[in-house]
Amino acid sequence: MNNRSTPPKIEYVDVDGVMLRVAIRGGRGGTPLLLFNGIGANLELVFPFIEALHGREVIVFDMPGIGRSPMSWFPRRFSGIARLTSHLLDRLGYQSVDVAGVSWGGAVAQQFARQLPDRCRRLILAATSAGAVMVPGRPSALMKMTTPRRYLSPQFMHRAAGTIYGGEVRERPELVTAHTARVIPPHFMGYVYQLVAGVGWTSVHWLHKLKQPTLIMAGSDDPLVPPVNARLLSLLIPDNRLVIIPGGGHLFMLHCLDQVIPVIHDFLGAASAERALRTAVTLKA
């Protein structure tokens, strides 16, 4: 079966009393990849990335109050989101996963890797930072991120996309059109809960304790999370590889697939190659 054209299967899973909307795209073996999306972003927004990452099983879900996951009764900090995710993996029958996080989801991914190290084999951090201890983005971009307006109004998204995301969308409005066509507006309080989850949070004091091999990626033209933040993560995480996408904006994981996918395939497949090499050496011995 060609996984490039196989759509993800979407289902609802009751986790701690919250009905989470989950998408799973099957693969051809190997460790599944769990993906944490950006703030306010429904799971359909990463479908282009999932489709391009053919051959690997991918799991993504709508946070409570985002996409079509209903609101939960109370907000969660990143530690609570990591715990909720662990319980989701239990319900789905997964023990160990590779974890990728984009932007806001990159902070959740860091927390998950730190809090549940036995469940995270490898870590991918894209367009993200160490939280409160970071070099901030451009004020014009950050101001437009404080509300979910870009998800509610396609007209506003078209006007503001270049300022918010930078990179490819500055010159290619068709990318914005395709992006907005996949948007499911978040519940206002769901968006607020996501903002609250990260208030005051930082990983800067424990990144040196991360045990997972980590791939850090950033776009060179990201107005929201300047690439210097990726360099800071690279200085603090012991076992990492840093990749800066030339000209890439905040959405480079969606718009620079020809540069991103080979790097990710190589990174996630490295452990399998190492195991195969060790097996071959053992057999020769």
Q: Judge contact between 123 and 214, C-beta under 8 A.
A: yes
Q: Using alpha carbons only, what angle is made at residue 227 by residues 225 and 232, rounded to the nearest 5 degrees?
A: 100
Distance from C-alpha of 37 to C-alpha of 62, rounded to nearest angstrom = 8
Residue 263: C-alpha distances to residues 193, 225, 256, 270, 285 (Å): 33, 20, 11, 11, 33
Residue 100 bridge partners (DSSP): 35, 124
| Sign of CA pseudo-dihedral 46, 47, 51, 57 | positive
- Which pair of tokens denotes residue 44? 């359909």
Q: Does the annotation mark 103 as catalytic?
A: yes
DSSP 103-160: THHHHHHHHHHHH-GGGEEEEEEES---BTSS----HHHHHTTSSTHHHH-HHHHHHH
Q: From the candidates 69, 72, 103, 129, give the one annotated as an active-site residue.
A: 103
- Cβ neighbors of 137 (< 8 A, separation 6 or more) are 222, 223, 224, 225, 226
Residues forming a β-bridge with 96: none
**Type of residue numbered 259:** Q
Helix (H) or strand (E) holding 82: helix 78-92
- Catalytic positions: 103
